[in-house]
Amino acid sequence: MTNIKSILVIEDDEIDRKAMRKYLESETPDIEIVESRDCAGGFSEMAKQEFDCILLDYQLPDGDGIEFLQKLMLSDVKCPPILFLTGQGDELLAVEALRGGAADYIPKDILSANRLNRSIENAIRFHQLEVRAKDAEAKLATSEEKYRTIVEKISDLVFQLDSNQNITFVNAAFEMLGYDVAELIGKPIKNLIDSDNVDSLLSKIATRAVGPLATTNLEVRFKTNPESSICEEYPVMTVRVDASGMWDVPDELVFKDEVAKKFLGTLCVGRYTPENNT
Protein backbone atom coordinates (compact mmCIF):
# COMPACT_ATOMS: atom_id res chain seq x y z
CA MET A 1 0.00 0.00 0.00
CA THR A 2 1.25 3.46 -0.84
CA ASN A 3 1.05 6.61 1.30
CA ILE A 4 -0.59 4.70 4.16
CA LYS A 5 1.28 5.24 7.41
CA SER A 6 -0.94 4.08 10.25
CA ILE A 7 -3.82 1.71 10.85
CA LEU A 8 -5.90 1.25 14.00
CA VAL A 9 -7.16 -2.29 14.56
CA ILE A 10 -10.02 -2.61 17.06
CA GLU A 11 -10.36 -6.35 17.58
CA ASP A 12 -10.51 -8.43 20.76
CA ASP A 13 -9.49 -11.73 19.17
CA GLU A 14 -5.71 -12.10 19.33
CA ILE A 15 -5.56 -14.59 16.43
CA ASP A 16 -7.49 -12.20 14.16
CA ARG A 17 -5.26 -9.30 15.18
CA LYS A 18 -2.12 -11.28 14.33
CA ALA A 19 -3.59 -12.27 10.98
CA MET A 20 -4.41 -8.67 10.09
CA ARG A 21 -0.97 -7.49 11.16
CA LYS A 22 0.59 -10.15 8.95
CA TYR A 23 -1.57 -9.16 5.97
CA LEU A 24 -0.86 -5.45 6.40
CA GLU A 25 2.89 -5.80 6.86
CA SER A 26 3.11 -8.05 3.79
CA GLU A 27 2.29 -5.00 1.67
CA THR A 28 3.86 -2.23 3.76
CA PRO A 29 6.56 -3.50 6.15
CA ASP A 30 7.06 -0.12 7.85
CA ILE A 31 3.37 0.58 8.45
CA GLU A 32 2.38 1.56 11.99
CA ILE A 33 -0.28 -0.75 13.38
CA VAL A 34 -1.95 0.25 16.64
CA GLU A 35 -4.12 -2.37 18.33
CA SER A 36 -7.05 -2.03 20.69
CA ARG A 37 -9.14 -4.78 22.27
CA ASP A 38 -12.29 -2.75 22.95
CA CYS A 39 -14.28 0.38 22.10
CA ALA A 40 -12.86 2.46 24.96
CA GLY A 41 -9.31 1.68 23.88
CA GLY A 42 -10.17 2.57 20.30
CA PHE A 43 -11.45 6.00 21.30
CA SER A 44 -8.39 6.50 23.48
CA GLU A 45 -6.01 5.74 20.61
CA MET A 46 -7.91 8.03 18.25
CA ALA A 47 -7.59 10.86 20.73
CA LYS A 48 -3.80 10.43 20.71
CA GLN A 49 -3.21 10.46 16.96
CA GLU A 50 -4.79 10.44 13.53
CA PHE A 51 -5.03 7.21 11.55
CA ASP A 52 -5.34 6.59 7.83
CA CYS A 53 -7.90 3.83 8.37
CA ILE A 54 -9.63 1.83 11.11
CA LEU A 55 -10.38 -1.89 11.07
CA LEU A 56 -13.37 -2.41 13.36
CA ASP A 57 -14.71 -5.71 14.64
CA TYR A 58 -18.38 -6.08 15.55
CA GLN A 59 -18.14 -8.17 18.71
CA LEU A 60 -16.18 -6.25 21.35
CA PRO A 61 -16.02 -6.68 25.17
CA ASP A 62 -17.52 -3.29 26.04
CA GLY A 63 -19.97 -2.88 23.16
CA ASP A 64 -20.31 -3.59 19.47
CA GLY A 65 -18.99 -2.02 16.30
CA ILE A 66 -22.32 -0.39 15.43
CA GLU A 67 -22.41 1.41 18.78
CA PHE A 68 -18.80 2.48 18.26
CA LEU A 69 -19.69 3.94 14.86
CA GLN A 70 -22.67 5.81 16.28
CA LYS A 71 -20.63 7.35 19.10
CA LEU A 72 -17.83 8.23 16.70
CA MET A 73 -20.13 10.03 14.29
CA LEU A 74 -21.51 12.11 17.17
CA SER A 75 -18.09 12.97 18.58
CA ASP A 76 -15.61 15.69 17.64
CA VAL A 77 -12.92 13.13 16.82
CA LYS A 78 -11.61 13.35 13.26
CA CYS A 79 -12.91 10.21 11.59
CA PRO A 80 -10.86 8.29 8.99
CA PRO A 81 -12.46 5.64 6.77
CA ILE A 82 -13.63 2.60 8.73
CA LEU A 83 -13.70 -0.98 7.47
CA PHE A 84 -16.20 -3.13 9.35
CA LEU A 85 -15.18 -6.74 10.02
CA THR A 86 -18.04 -9.24 10.10
CA GLY A 87 -18.44 -12.91 10.80
CA GLN A 88 -20.24 -15.37 8.59
CA GLY A 89 -23.95 -14.62 8.27
CA ASP A 90 -23.60 -10.99 9.43
CA GLU A 91 -24.77 -9.41 6.16
CA LEU A 92 -27.53 -7.42 7.88
CA LEU A 93 -25.00 -6.03 10.35
CA ALA A 94 -22.78 -5.04 7.46
CA VAL A 95 -25.63 -3.09 5.86
CA GLU A 96 -26.32 -1.36 9.18
CA ALA A 97 -22.62 -0.49 9.48
CA LEU A 98 -22.57 1.05 6.00
CA ARG A 99 -25.61 3.13 6.87
CA GLY A 100 -23.87 4.18 10.07
CA GLY A 101 -20.84 5.56 8.24
CA ALA A 102 -18.53 2.60 7.56
CA ALA A 103 -16.67 2.80 4.25
CA ASP A 104 -16.87 -0.94 3.55
CA TYR A 105 -17.14 -4.32 5.24
CA ILE A 106 -15.05 -7.46 4.98
CA PRO A 107 -16.32 -10.93 5.97
CA LYS A 108 -13.65 -12.55 8.13
CA ASP A 109 -14.06 -15.93 6.42
CA ILE A 110 -12.69 -14.51 3.15
CA LEU A 111 -10.08 -12.21 4.69
CA SER A 112 -6.75 -12.25 2.86
CA ALA A 113 -3.78 -9.95 2.38
CA ASN A 114 -4.94 -8.96 -1.08
CA ARG A 115 -8.57 -8.37 -0.08
CA LEU A 116 -7.68 -6.42 3.06
CA ASN A 117 -5.09 -4.15 1.47
CA ARG A 118 -7.20 -3.49 -1.61
CA SER A 119 -10.22 -2.60 0.54
CA ILE A 120 -8.14 -0.22 2.65
CA GLU A 121 -6.68 1.53 -0.39
CA ASN A 122 -10.14 1.94 -1.95
CA ALA A 123 -11.64 3.21 1.30
CA ILE A 124 -8.87 5.78 1.76
CA ARG A 125 -9.08 6.91 -1.86
CA PHE A 126 -12.85 7.45 -1.69
CA HIS A 127 -12.51 9.16 1.69
CA GLN A 128 -9.95 11.61 0.29
CA LEU A 129 -12.22 12.39 -2.66
CA GLU A 130 -15.12 12.96 -0.28
CA VAL A 131 -13.05 15.30 1.88
CA ARG A 132 -11.96 17.29 -1.17
CA ALA A 133 -15.53 17.51 -2.42
CA LYS A 134 -16.76 18.78 0.95
CA ASP A 135 -13.93 21.33 1.11
CA ALA A 136 -14.76 22.54 -2.39
CA GLU A 137 -18.46 22.72 -1.50
CA ALA A 138 -17.70 24.72 1.65
CA LYS A 139 -15.48 27.15 -0.27
CA LEU A 140 -18.14 27.55 -2.94
CA ALA A 141 -20.82 28.21 -0.32
CA THR A 142 -18.60 30.80 1.34
CA SER A 143 -17.88 32.45 -2.01
CA GLU A 144 -21.57 32.49 -2.94
CA GLU A 145 -22.49 33.95 0.44
CA LYS A 146 -19.92 36.74 0.02
CA TYR A 147 -21.21 37.42 -3.49
CA ARG A 148 -24.81 37.50 -2.33
CA THR A 149 -23.93 39.86 0.52
CA ILE A 150 -22.25 42.24 -1.91
CA VAL A 151 -25.14 42.02 -4.36
CA GLU A 152 -27.66 42.73 -1.61
CA LYS A 153 -25.79 45.75 -0.32
CA ILE A 154 -24.82 47.58 -3.50
CA SER A 155 -27.07 50.35 -4.81
CA ASP A 156 -27.13 48.99 -8.38
CA LEU A 157 -30.19 47.07 -9.49
CA VAL A 158 -29.16 43.44 -9.92
CA PHE A 159 -31.69 41.08 -11.43
CA GLN A 160 -31.80 37.74 -13.16
CA LEU A 161 -34.25 36.54 -15.81
CA ASP A 162 -35.16 33.07 -16.94
CA SER A 163 -35.41 32.02 -20.58
CA ASN A 164 -38.99 33.35 -20.70
CA GLN A 165 -37.95 36.82 -19.53
CA ASN A 166 -39.47 36.34 -16.08
CA ILE A 167 -37.69 37.58 -12.96
CA THR A 168 -35.95 34.87 -10.93
CA PHE A 169 -33.87 37.13 -8.67
CA VAL A 170 -33.72 40.79 -7.67
CA ASN A 171 -31.55 42.37 -5.01
CA ALA A 172 -32.64 44.70 -2.24
CA ALA A 173 -31.89 47.78 -4.36
CA PHE A 174 -35.30 47.31 -6.02
CA GLU A 175 -36.83 48.58 -2.79
CA MET A 176 -35.82 52.09 -3.88
CA LEU A 177 -38.41 51.66 -6.65
CA GLY A 178 -41.01 50.98 -3.99
CA TYR A 179 -41.26 47.22 -4.53
CA ASP A 180 -41.27 44.32 -2.12
CA VAL A 181 -38.56 42.26 -3.79
CA ALA A 182 -40.26 38.94 -2.97
CA GLU A 183 -43.34 39.99 -4.94
CA LEU A 184 -41.29 40.54 -8.10
CA ILE A 185 -40.12 36.93 -8.39
CA GLY A 186 -41.86 35.19 -11.28
CA LYS A 187 -43.16 38.43 -12.81
CA PRO A 188 -42.32 39.39 -16.42
CA ILE A 189 -39.61 42.04 -16.54
CA LYS A 190 -41.62 43.89 -19.21
CA ASN A 191 -44.12 44.86 -16.49
CA LEU A 192 -41.46 47.13 -14.96
CA ILE A 193 -40.36 48.84 -18.15
CA ASP A 194 -41.70 52.23 -19.20
CA SER A 195 -41.31 52.56 -22.95
CA ASP A 196 -43.31 53.05 -26.15
CA ASN A 197 -41.27 50.22 -27.66
CA VAL A 198 -40.98 47.65 -24.90
CA ASP A 199 -40.32 44.71 -27.20
CA SER A 200 -37.27 46.39 -28.73
CA LEU A 201 -35.80 47.02 -25.27
CA LEU A 202 -36.65 43.51 -24.10
CA SER A 203 -34.55 41.91 -26.82
CA LYS A 204 -31.54 43.76 -25.42
CA ILE A 205 -32.33 43.42 -21.72
CA ALA A 206 -33.12 39.68 -21.95
CA THR A 207 -30.20 39.11 -24.29
CA ARG A 208 -28.69 35.71 -24.99
CA ALA A 209 -25.43 37.25 -26.11
CA VAL A 210 -22.20 37.11 -24.11
CA GLY A 211 -18.82 38.79 -24.19
CA PRO A 212 -18.43 41.67 -26.65
CA LEU A 213 -21.93 41.07 -28.04
CA ALA A 214 -23.63 41.44 -24.66
CA THR A 215 -25.72 44.52 -23.87
CA THR A 216 -23.91 47.45 -22.29
CA ASN A 217 -24.99 50.89 -21.09
CA LEU A 218 -28.58 50.52 -22.28
CA GLU A 219 -30.84 53.30 -20.99
CA VAL A 220 -33.96 51.81 -19.43
CA ARG A 221 -36.80 53.56 -17.62
CA PHE A 222 -38.15 51.42 -14.79
CA LYS A 223 -41.62 52.07 -13.39
CA THR A 224 -41.78 52.65 -9.67
CA ASN A 225 -44.46 50.89 -7.67
CA PRO A 226 -47.72 52.84 -8.23
CA GLU A 227 -48.86 51.83 -4.73
CA SER A 228 -45.77 53.37 -3.15
CA SER A 229 -45.34 56.98 -2.07
CA ILE A 230 -42.15 57.02 -4.15
CA CYS A 231 -44.29 56.93 -7.30
CA GLU A 232 -45.82 60.31 -6.55
CA GLU A 233 -42.47 62.07 -6.94
CA TYR A 234 -40.68 59.58 -9.20
CA PRO A 235 -43.09 57.64 -11.43
CA VAL A 236 -40.10 56.23 -13.30
CA MET A 237 -36.40 55.80 -12.62
CA THR A 238 -33.80 55.72 -15.36
CA VAL A 239 -30.86 53.32 -15.14
CA ARG A 240 -28.06 52.17 -17.44
CA VAL A 241 -28.30 48.40 -17.91
CA ASP A 242 -25.57 45.88 -18.69
CA ALA A 243 -26.91 42.43 -19.54
CA SER A 244 -25.29 39.12 -20.46
CA GLY A 245 -26.69 35.73 -21.36
CA MET A 246 -26.09 32.77 -19.06
CA TRP A 247 -25.38 29.37 -20.58
CA ASP A 248 -24.42 25.94 -19.27
CA VAL A 249 -21.10 26.16 -21.15
CA PRO A 250 -18.20 28.65 -20.91
CA ASP A 251 -18.65 31.90 -22.83
CA GLU A 252 -16.07 30.95 -25.44
CA LEU A 253 -18.17 27.92 -26.46
CA VAL A 254 -21.47 29.79 -26.81
CA PHE A 255 -20.59 30.92 -30.33
CA LYS A 256 -19.69 27.41 -31.55
CA ASP A 257 -22.64 25.88 -33.42
CA GLU A 258 -21.36 22.34 -33.01
CA VAL A 259 -21.36 22.58 -29.20
CA ALA A 260 -24.49 21.37 -27.38
CA LYS A 261 -25.61 24.06 -24.96
CA LYS A 262 -28.59 25.32 -23.02
CA PHE A 263 -29.63 28.91 -22.44
CA LEU A 264 -30.30 29.50 -18.72
CA GLY A 265 -31.37 33.13 -18.67
CA THR A 266 -29.89 36.61 -18.39
CA LEU A 267 -27.99 38.42 -15.66
CA CYS A 268 -28.50 42.19 -15.58
CA VAL A 269 -27.06 45.11 -13.63
CA GLY A 270 -28.72 48.52 -13.74
CA ARG A 271 -26.66 51.51 -12.62
CA TYR A 272 -28.68 54.36 -11.16
CA THR A 273 -27.46 57.74 -12.33
CA PRO A 274 -28.93 60.78 -10.51
CA GLU A 275 -28.27 63.08 -13.45
CA ASN A 276 -30.66 61.03 -15.57
CA ASN A 277 -33.40 61.26 -12.94
CA THR A 278 -33.68 64.98 -12.43
Q: The domain 154-277 is classified under which CATH number: 3.30.450.20, 3.40.640.10, 3.30.565.10, 3.40.50.300? A: 3.30.450.20
pTM: 0.51
Is residue 124 packed enough to be buried (19+ CB in 10 Å), middle (13-18) or exposed (0-12)? buried
- Cα torsion 94, 100, 102, 104 to 10°: value is 40
Spatial strand order of the sheet with 157-161 comes to: 167-170, 157-161, 263-272, 236-247, 215-223
202 — phi, psi (to 5°)? -60, -40
Distance CA 79, CA 72 (A): 7
pLDDT interval class at 142 (50, 70, 90): low
Q: Under DSSP, is residue 232 helix (H, G, I), strand (E, B) or coil?
A: helix
How high is the pLDDT of residue 150?
46
How high is the pLDDT of residue 151?
46
Angle at 211 between CA 210 and CA 217, to 5 degrees: 90
Domain 6-140 matches domain 154-277 at the CATH topology level: no
How high is the pLDDT of residue 167?
96
Question: What's the average model confidence in pLDDT over 129-135?
Answer: 74
Residue spans per domain, the chain: 6-140, 154-277
Question: What's the average model confidence in pLDDT over 89-115?
Answer: 83
Question: What's the average model confidence in pLDDT over 101-126?
Answer: 86
Distance CA 42, CA 56 (A): 9
Q: Under DSSP, is residue 63 helix (H, G, I), strand (E, B) or coil?
A: strand
Percent of the residues in the chain that have a pLDDT greater than 70, as a whole number: 89
Please report, for residues 51, 69, 102, 205, the alpha-carbon distance to residue 73 in angstroms, rounded to integers and kept in the order given: 16, 6, 10, 51
pLDDT interval class at 148 (50, 70, 90): low
Higher-scoring residue by pLDDT: 163, 94: 163
Distance CA 141, CA 146 (A): 9
Class for domain 6-140, per CATH? alpha beta
Question: What's the average model confidence in pLDDT over 172-187?
Answer: 90
pLDDT of residue 178 exceeding 50: yes
Higher-scoring residue by pLDDT: 74, 267: 267
Q: Are 42 and 10 contacting, i.e. CB atoms less than 8 angstroms apart?
A: yes
At 232-277, the pLDDT tens digits run 888 998 999 999 999 999 888 888 888 899 999 999 999 876 555 5
